[in-house]
Structure 1
Amino acid sequence: MKPRRRLRLSGLLVAAAAVLVAGSTTATASAQNTSPGVDEIVHSPNMRQIANLPKEGPFATQEAFNSDIAFTKNHAIVGNYDGFTIYDIRKPHKPRVVSQVLCPGGQNDVSVSGDLLFLSTDYARTNDSCTSEPSVASDPNAWEGIKVFDISDLANPEYVASVRTDCGSHTHTMVPDQQRESVYLYVSSYSPAANLPNCQPPHDKISIVEVPTKHPERAAVVATPVLFPDGGNPGGPNPDGTNRSATTGCHDLTAYPEKNLLAGACMGDGVLFDLSDKLNPRVIDRVQDNVNFAFWHSATFNNSGTKVVYTDELGGGGLPTCNATFGPNRGADGIYDITGRGDDRKLEFRSYYKLPRHQTENENCVAHNGSLIPVKGRDIMVQAWYQGGISVWDFTDSANPKEIGYWERGPLSDTQRITGGSWSAYYYNGHIYSSDIQKGFDVLAINDWRTAPAKSVRYDEFNAQTQPSYGRG
């Protein structure tokens, strides 16, 4: 969300917003720029909400932001800045909480592999325990990095290992080795400073953690490949006077193991890697957008591995950028075709996609996390836009993307900007699941002829940043 090392947005927050309950106003919006009222729900005719579970227990506070989602065995695991919650989604209309683990250390982005759960900690803590206290990153004894849990019993997760990584772990990407004897975690972290003993500049690298699946307690950093020996994008002002980020690491990496590809969203650079050697990702091509992109945030391949959608998290997730002031090309998705073959492959820009509905000045809204909807022969994505809601859009024609469905809540307040909205929206086994920062866990149904074939695609496990193939596109 926000670039690391900056103050959290908690200073902007006010008293907790009312939790969505049965009976909240629902409507089908027809006017593209008509914003719904506080807690009002609007949606396209082909999308509807079928369930919501509010945050509960120690997470039922405004500062306990829900974050990313991973899926295993028809269960959804939702990260939270204070830990994670496991939901049983075998009945999507009636999800239920199976367990909740209190383990503060934002963002607590999650991934799963078999019976193991991995958690990213990117806020300095006094130690690696789940009872640690906040610390400062200038303390050489402060801890940030990866935590490993055994979730063979989903009702009773067990904390089994931790690994400190330089500059912490803002996000991570799980990649299994071919023998499935280990998994590799590609740790994204950034923003070094001379006064941070565990995050020294230039930090033009990623950390790769190996976790032996039968002995997760032996998890350790096994490689720290330098990705930007030339320093990457130096940052600076955009033509409109706003600033673009310098590249001091990567924010997010998305792997497509079947294609031996890795896409990096690295602050000021979009990168395409060859992943044939898991411990030495090799840069194939790098692109920059010094006109419209401020912060390269995340990436999604299409199924055939011939396109990448990069997101620009302009304003770090805290600004209202879905409006006429910022326009259609800033805080948007950039669609790139992968042209050529082998080492001659290039990322070629084709178009931008931006949420087509203007949001209010009290709604943080910008491109954020999404996944493909697995329809063979088409490129369709569901994506979270914070308080802009959830958009389903088709980019089969890279130069002419178009929205085919949406669902959103109105602002949390009509007088103040409260950080909220959908952090991640992913398609899994027939439904869309959303982690809402404030409102909890949402389940949506989409009924559209263009997405209907996806209902037959089933996965036992799904991590959006470790893309599976669903057959020839």
Structure 2
Amino acid sequence: MILLNDARTRRRHLGVAAAAVGLLAALLTAHPAVATPDPGDGTAARDDVSASARAEVRDAIASGEIPGQDEVVHSANIKHLTNIPKDALPGTNSDLAFQGRYAFAGNYDGFRIFDISNPKAPKTVAQVLCPGSQNDISVSGNLLFLSTDSSRSDSSCNSTTQPATEKSSWEGMKVFDISDKKNPKYVAAVETACGSHTHSLVPERKNVYIYVSSYSPSATYPDCQPPHDGISVIKVPRSHPEKAAVVGFPVLFPGDGPDGGGNPGGPTNPGVSKTTGCHDITVLPSQDLAAGACMGDGILLSIKDPEHPKVIDQVQDNVNFAFWHSATFNQKADKVVFTDELGGGGAATCNAAIGPNRGADGIYDIVGRGDHRKLVFRSYYKIPRHQADTENCVAHNGSLIPVKGKDIMVQAWYQGGVSVWDFTDSSKPKEIGYFERGPLATDGLVVGGSWSAYYYNGYIYSNDIAKGFDVLKLSDRRTDPAARIRVDELNVQTQPDYFGR
């Protein structure tokens, strides 16, 4: 049972002071250039907060309304099994992928491979130094894929940062052979327009297709010119990954203007990001469907022809969504959860000043059939525990927990921690468990917290930006049936069909 009556769930007013100093207005007019602050090869800077906000944090800790600095708290149905601190890769921890007994953890400095055959005591198998912003990660068979979304001097793992205004600069997709997990080998690099912020796999027997999401073009960038209103599609032959190449750039937002036909953003829609590409795409191969979170737009796509995805519906929320960040289908493929990354992942948005509908999840039902399906909004979900103004907190990466007949997912909220929530009734979502740490700092905002929190073969794994790799055990009658479900491989943006059709 979750502890519904503790001070953490009763608190409702933290962050009210922020409105007085203009935080709300600043967030609503922000157009994030990247999904999280890009620290390059260094560490994230500390942002100042007001004296009143610092005092409010100290008072909240003293009264027990929020955990103390770095203190771990959780609901009664979640147990924290272990934490593995960052080691040879000190950069920002990012996304996760899984295969067999291994977990693959992205980091802005490269990636790390864990043996999780004993989830209570994961062991590091390899750490690969290969700097590049994001290093969004996925695996398929003997191949590992890594996104680079910072302009580099070349495609090697010894590259340095270089301005995107220089034609010789490189960013895009890297491919590694992981047949020997202890000794991954870099086998291919594919440059893509505007780099690769994230990517999603559409795996086939002979080939792996990669949908590359990137955005924010500029006339001053030779390899990232506007309009940038689509995605790059890469084809990787499994037997010859060195032949990986871009095979198309499908336009998802056709239009006559200089930026295509996506959301124009401000001043037409104040506080909303202009659509100049997609942030993330989640594919559901069993249904030939994909859902795209594309800055100012949410889209539903048919991927019957994986080289030519086709938009079948497009929606906007110009009241409460600032930046469409990611998407998750439910098991029946009749719902999609979209996230809004208000403030770009580097701001305190889980407080009373921002409220329950911004920086939240939007739950949409999918109605109709075939290419006539539509996305219909039902409700918002946001964690019920307000966070301090020194904690970056907003909706981020999560995955389904496979319970037949139920729609339950686990999700990262940066310093808001990890939330387990039920959206079986898409109009009345509710939290059923949580895990979080107290603020990283009480005198300023330092970016940290859970980047990704995913359910894999009976456990929840979280990659914390600053603190490292966490393993959680969820024990709850509502989710216990999921422990019987096993998959051989999990890239969350390539959703499995857990129960067949």
The whole-number CA distance in structure 2 between the counterparts of 1:68 and 1:74 is 17
1:192 corresponds to which residue? 217
State whether structure 2 residue 253 is matched by structure 1 residue 228: yes
CA-to-aligned-CA distance 1:329-367 (integer Å, 9 cap, x gap): 000000000001112211000000001100000000000
State whether structure 2 residue 112 is matched by structure 1 residue 118: no
Alignment of 1:279-318 (within 5 A): 279-318=307-346
Does the CA contact (< 8 Å) of 2:92 and 2:465 recur in 1? yes
Which consecutive residues of structure 1, in runs of 5 or more, have no partner in the other structure?
A: 16-31
Deviation at 1:73, TM superposition (A): 1.5
Deviation at 1:12, TM superposition (A): 5.6
Letter paired with 1:194: A
Deviation at 1:470, TM superposition (A): 1.1
Deviation at 1:74, TM superposition (A): 1.4
Identity rate of aligned residues, in percent?
63
Does the CA contact (< 8 Å) of 1:4 and 1:122 recur in 2? no
CA-to-aligned-CA distance 1:147-170 (integer Å, 9 cap, x gap): 000000000000000000000000
State whether structure 2 residue 75 is matched by structure 1 residue 44: yes
Does the CA contact (< 8 Å) of 2:37 and 2:344 recur in 1? no
Which consecutive residues of structure 2, in runs of 5 or more, have no partner in the other structure?
A: 1-30, 48-62, 256-260
Does the CA contact (< 8 Å) of 2:37 and 2:345 recur in 1? no
2:281 corresponds to which residue? 253
Alignment of 1:377-456 (within 5 A): 377-456=405-484
Is the partner of 2:419 in helix, strand or coil?
Answer: strand
Is the partner of 2:343 in helix, strand or coil?
Answer: helix
State whether structure 2 residue 139 is matched by structure 1 residue 107: no
Deviation at 1:238, TM superposition (A): 8.8
2:45 corresponds to which residue? 13
2:305 corresponds to which residue? 277
The whole-number CA distance in structure 2 between the counterparts of 1:238 and 1:394 is 35
RMSD (Å), alpha carbons? 1.9
Letter paired with 1:13: A
Does the CA contact (< 8 Å) of 2:38 and 2:133 recur in 1? no
The whole-number CA distance in structure 1 between the counterparts of 2:301 and 2:455 is 25
The whole-number CA distance in structure 2 between the counterparts of 1:408 and 1:295 is 24
Is the partner of 2:446 in helix, strand or coil?
Answer: coil
The whole-number CA distance in structure 2 between the counterparts of 1:105 and 1:344 is 40
The whole-number CA distance in structure 1 between the counterparts of 2:64 and 2:149 is 37
2:202 corresponds to which residue? 175
Note closer, same or farther for the CA distance 1:404–1:75 as it changes in structure 2 (3 Å cut).
same
Is the partner of 2:445 in helix, strand or coil?
Answer: coil
State whether structure 2 residue 389 is matched by structure 1 residue 361: yes
Deviation at 1:4, TM superposition (A): 3.4
Does the CA contact (< 8 Å) of 2:35 and 2:344 recur in 1? no
Letter paired with 1:321: T
Does the CA contact (< 8 Å) of 2:115 and 2:124 recur in 1? yes
The whole-number CA distance in structure 2 between the counterparts of 1:6 and 1:298 is 13
Deviation at 1:472, TM superposition (A): 5.6
The whole-number CA distance in structure 1 between the counterparts of 2:37 and 2:218 is 15
Is the partner of 1:355 in helix, strand or coil?
Answer: coil
Note closer, same or farther for the CA distance 1:97–1:259 as it changes in structure 2 (3 Å cut).
same
CA-to-aligned-CA distance 1:281-340 (integer Å, 9 cap, x gap): 111100000000000000000001000000000000000000001000000000000001
Deviation at 1:8, TM superposition (A): 2.9
Does the CA contact (< 8 Å) of 2:35 and 2:341 recur in 1? no
The whole-number CA distance in structure 1 between the counterparts of 2:274 and 2:495 is 27
Letter paired with 1:119: L
State whether structure 2 residue 125 is matched by structure 1 residue 73: no
Alignment of 1:311-350 (within 5 A): 311-350=339-378
2:18 corresponds to which residue? none
Deviation at 1:176, TM superposition (A): 1.1
Deviation at 1:35, TM superposition (A): 1.2
Q: Return the TM-score normalized by structure 1.
A: 0.93
Does the CA contact (< 8 Å) of 1:376 and 1:472 recur in 2? no
Note closer, same or farther for the CA distance 1:5–1:460 as it changes in structure 2 (3 Å cut).
closer
Count of paired positions: 450
2:111 corresponds to which residue? 84
Deviation at 1:2, TM superposition (A): 5.9
Alignment of 1:26-37 (within 5 A): 34-37=65-68
Letter paired with 2:67: P
1:3 corresponds to which residue? 33
Q: Return the TM-score normalized by structure 2.
A: 0.87
